[in-house]
Amino acid sequence: MKNFFEKNESIGILGAGSWGTTLAWLLSKRHKVRVWEFDRKQLVKVIKERENKKFLPHIKLSKKIIFSNDAPDVITRSNIVIIALPSHTIRETVKKYSDLLKKKIMVNVSKGIENKTLKRISEILYDETGNKQIYVLSGPSHAEEVARKIPTTVVLSSLNQDKKRMKYLQGIFITEHFRVYTNPDIIGVELCGSLKNIIAIAAGISDGIGFGSNTKAAIMTRGITEIRRLGMKLGAHTETFGGLAGIGDLITTCISKYSRNRHVGEELGKGKNISSILKKMVMIAEGVKTTLSAYNLSKKHRVSMPITEEVYNIIYRNKNTKKAVQALMSREPKPEIW
């Protein structure tokens, strides 16, 4: 193993969903890993079976991974704390343990934008802890594929722009099948990771209606355009949108069979309502809540985001999906490149 692969770090993971469990599996090869699972019944099952059958079936988990229901203990015993929680629960959880997290290195792997404040997750973490040691890991990385050692590449970004620490964390996560690049644009990385879920819902709607590759290509291409448009308004770097966090993650989420957001869209395209779709899902489709935040951000900053607006209309105003498509296709003709 090459010398840039760091070893023997103490890492805590808050959240034992599919991604939190996968990162525990990945990191436990070289590091001491503790995982906080808030559900006691689920915790007992995972410890007994050494498998997270609910969120990551068929992947055996090393006995070296310590699963716990004691969040303070997991945080206290770790130098690096990974935030792998549903985005809408992060503020409340971090606030509860803010004193313990103030001096920890925090790496967020969750994707979303808070509905009430319209803040990115790194902003929420800083709000509640005052800690600038905040990093974001994002990119095209479905947990189910990472856990099967399928080659995957992601990016790591930071709030404090500490290049030495970034390089160290890069070495923490990187393996022979999980490659990590660094990216200085935390705004762009977080926005891409959140907003691509909305475009994936749109891609799923296209699948559910029965449209083809032409339509999906248009959705992805115009989707990254409107994500870039908002991102640039908020201070992101244009290069990020053409990279792993941008178009890379967007493509994966729009086409993958593992994509929860694409699945939600597909069911909407078949005529089902959002409430019934979500009730049947075990995992959370972050794009549903993020659609509301993105819609409000676009209005606040006067940014045109037509795909996002129609997904919002479908989810929150019960607009017919075919009428939403018609509205997009009948917009005033414009040049592609301004």
Catalytic residues: 196
The tokens describing 109, both together, are 């792997």
Q: Among the residues of the chain, which ranges form H helices? A: 18-27, 40-49, 71-76, 90-96, 98-101, 121-129, 143-146, 163-173, 186-209, 213-233, 249-255, 260-269, 274-279, 286-300, 306-316, 321-329
The tokens describing 88, both together, are 């809408």
- Strand bridging mode 134-138 / 80-83: unpaired
- 62 contacts 35 by C-beta, under 8 angstroms: no
Q: What share of the chain is helix, strand, coil (3-state, %, to 5)?
A: 50, 10, 35
Which amino acid is located at 103 in the chain? K
What is the spatial distance between Cα 78 and Cα 316, in angstroms, rounded to a whole number? 41
